[in-house]
Homo-oligomer: A and B are copies of this chain.
């Protein structure tokens, strides 16, 4: 069976177990935390310049008032709302990452799912199942396209994301397997997005594009649109033309029945590039357990996967954006008691803080190709001669309660306690909500 056949079977055939296993329960809990995390970063990012531009254009075009968007009271058509919410939720680059997907799934899948669920009046169970299906498909397709796809210059968030959003949208629209194949086929010729756009507004827009593409192709397929049924994997199809790895001999065979991979999703607890997070966690651990102060330190060595040295190793950051991509700066922030989870920590003013410059200058960053790209090894030497060492790997999944606590804390920092509690309550009661009040998430 081909990948698109497996996806079609998964979209149509997946059912949430009446008595889910412990791992299934944890998976659904993780998904809900991702939805909470997504709402928090979307609300926090909804006034960013790119969010305003895309929303204002959408409001100027208007259309049937079916779906809520963050930052406006006027509702918009499904495809349009998905574009707006996808873009603004990725504007801060503070949303979750799935390393096997090689990108961000929530900023693509949730906007598509919420748009259709709100317009069609889906139940909470239908919404959660579609979000799970879309997220899982995005992860599988991202891994199937592989590192070669990313290295060639394609952004999985936009490309693999389109297929994930398509799967989720098809589920909510209750398409049959053949319609799902047509939707995936059309997605194969609609998906796009290049990493050479990183650092510009196009990067968050990629999430909107993918969410919107998924809604668009599913709606067209529901009306009888036909495309190449094997558009993903055929000769000159999406994979072949887009430098895919396609190493997996039978891709997608694990989709229906598992094992599922979405629970490896990584929520961001620091408002900087995800490549820095393992190092920050390792340093924070040493600081907390050894009680280290900035004044104690005589040198820091950070070891990381070589991939990241091209991504987030700005030696002397000056702008807010540059500071989010600097190992040396983050080392200094950790030991100077800055809150690395707060958005306003990343500013020009902070880059000029001379107390940080001393720690920056004491820090060496080096490549270690034995480390996976989710891990870091750090060494801190103190003036008194003590040397401390720590290793952190984001791939070691946190216990679910710890994860919940950290996501809730992050949401409270980005929003406030009351808003966080309100959103978490809506999400937590979704399993049994026949008509969840989705509009309240956006207010």
Contact = CB atoms under 8 A, between A and B. Distances in A.
B78 A194 contact: no
Interface in A56-103: 56-57, 60-64, 77-80
Nearest to A242: B241
Nearest to A158: B189
Interface in A315-373: none
A121 B51 CA distance: 28
A103 to B, nearest CB: 14
A57 B236 contact: no
Nearest to A234: B196
Given A61-B64, A63-B61, A64-B61, A237 B192 contact: no
A206 interface: yes
Interface string A217-239: 00110011111100100111110
A405 B64 CA distance: 45
A217 to B, nearest CB: 10
Nearest to A188: B194
Interface size, A (range): 35 or more
Interface stretch (A38-46, A197-205, A284-292): A197-205
A186 interface: yes
A193 interface: yes
Contact of A63 (B77, B191, B240): B77
Contacts of A77: 60-63
A219 B189 contact: no
Given A158-B189, A194-B238, A197-B228, 10 more contacts: A54-B220, A57-B220, A61-B77, A61-B79, A186-B197, A189-B197, A197-B231, A200-B228, A202-B228, A241-B242
5 contacts: A49-B224, A60-B64, A62-B77, A189-B193, A202-B227
